[in-house]
A and B are shown apart, each in its own frame.
Chain A
């Protein structure tokens, strides 16, 4: 998808829908287990002082990702 952005590029408070996981194997499995299937809504809650990791609300749980993980999740922003 052309207008997809990696999850780590979103600003605080932004909401987005997952379009694609750019990961294979265990990393992909782990992201799926956390509920990140395509179509899932994700909200950026806040960033740690250095900007990494970032905390997200995924299906009602607050989960933190490092940049290496977040950038593998492609999303489209929604308002």
Chain B
């Protein structure tokens, strides 16, 4: 038996996050470091079809919008800008919980093309949670201005996910981005993220913990990622799993955590 996730289903989990028309549309998340142009991409894709509010129970601003592509309706969620998904702050917690529990059909990681080194850390973290990732290399106009050349194909091969260059403020690359989103959300393109391999000791610990995690929570949340978080001593994730799935199986997750402690 897995989590009650099976009985509650994805749309219910999404409703917790106030996603409108949950279940009937494709849900796309926009993640990224602060100030990389997420909201600019969001506005360019959704135009006036959007509403803003707060994340449930949080003072963090939340924007949701929609667009139509190829006759399909997409709901776009602008996540708060973060440097990581380790729930160090409310923003990071909101972003992590959405990716982990609302399980968007695709996630766009907007990165600053002038500063890839800093931005790819978050992209790699998102790829540890979900396979359905598109990397949007934004501010490509700024990169060009600084004489920086980004080999998009090479980056895409290295990451194992589609990469689209954009200059969102000038509207450049947005139709390509939309096409890439729909390819991934509809399963026409299946990203194969190249994941970080950790030290032998950590990989060995993952190998021990992951089967147990799978036993307890099934395959609904990325089990390698949950195992990594447990090894890291992340009790907040266990609390979040309990909050969102609120059933006794997650108590077993806590027990698994205690075994490790």
**Complex-state Cα separation, A3 to B35, whole angstroms:** 36
Whether A59 touches B118, Cβ cut-off 8 Å, given contacts A33-B83, A34-B83, is yes
Q: Pick the contact of A61 from B88, B115, B233 — CB < 8 Å?
A: B115
Q: Which residues from A are CB-within-8-Å of B118?
A: 35, 58-61
Complex interface bits, A24-48 against B, C-beta within 8 A gives 1, otherwise 0: 0110011001110000000000000
* Cβ-defined contact, A35 with B88, below 8 A: no
Contact A61 B86 (CB under 8 A): no
Closest to B233 in A: A25
Known A-B contacts A35-B118, A35-B121; the reply to A29 vs B232 at CB < 8 A is yes
Say whether A33 contacts B233, CB under 8 Å. no
The yes or no answer to B43 lying at the interface (CB within 8 A) is: no
- Say whether B88 contacts A30, CB under 8 Å: yes
The reply to whether A30 and B86 contact each other, CB–CB distance below 8 Å, is yes
Q: What is the CB-to-nearest-CB distance from A36 to chain B, in angstroms, rounded to a whole number?
A: 11
Return the contact of B115 from the options A25, A30, A59 (Cβ within 8 A). A59
- Residue pair A33, B115 in contact (C-beta under 8 Å): no
Which residues in B have their C-beta under 8 angstroms from that of A61? 33-35, 83, 115, 118
Residue numbers in A under 8 Å from B88 (CB-CB): 26, 29-30, 33
Q: CB-CB < 8 A to A58: which residues of B?
A: 118
Question: With the chains together, A59 CA to B115 CA distance in Å?
Answer: 7
Bound together, the chains give a CA A26 to CA B84 distance in angstroms of 12
Say how far A69's CB is from chain B's closest CB, in angstroms: 12
Q: B117 on the interface (CB 8 Å rule)?
A: yes
**A69 vs B112: C-alpha distance when bound (angstroms):** 26
- Per the bound structure, the CA–CA distance linking A26 and B35 in Å amounts to 24
Give CA–CA (A58, B121) in the complex, Å: 14
Contacts of B132 in A (CB 8 A): none
Contact yes or no, B86 A29, CB < 8 A:
yes
For residue B39, CB closer than 8 A to chain A, the reply is no
B83–chain A nearest beta-carbon distance, Å: 5
Q: Does B166 reach chain A (CB closer than 8 Å)?
A: no
Q: How far is the CB of B36 from chain A (nearest CB, A)?
A: 10
Q: How far is the CA of A34 from the CA of B88 in the complex (A)?
A: 11
Query: Which B residues, 159 to 216, have Cβ-Cβ distances below 8 Å to chain A?
Result: none
* Residues on B with beta carbons closer than 8 Å to the beta carbon of A29: 84, 86, 88, 232
Nearest-Cβ distance from residue B202 to partner chain A, whole angstroms:
14
Known: A30-B86, A61-B34. 15 other contacts (CB 8 A): A26-B86, A26-B88, A29-B84, A29-B88, A30-B84, A30-B88, A33-B86, A33-B121, A34-B83, A35-B117, A35-B121, A59-B115, A60-B115, A60-B118, A61-B33
Q: Which 9 A-B pairs have the closest CB atoms?
A: A33-B84, A60-B115, A59-B118, A30-B88, A33-B83, A35-B118, A60-B118, A29-B86, A59-B117
Interface, chain A (partner B; CB < 8 A): 25-26, 29-30, 33-35, 58-61
10 A-B residue pairs with Cβ-Cβ distance under 8 Å, sorted by A, are A26-B88, A29-B88, A33-B83, A33-B88, A35-B118, A58-B118, A59-B115, A59-B117, A60-B118, A61-B33
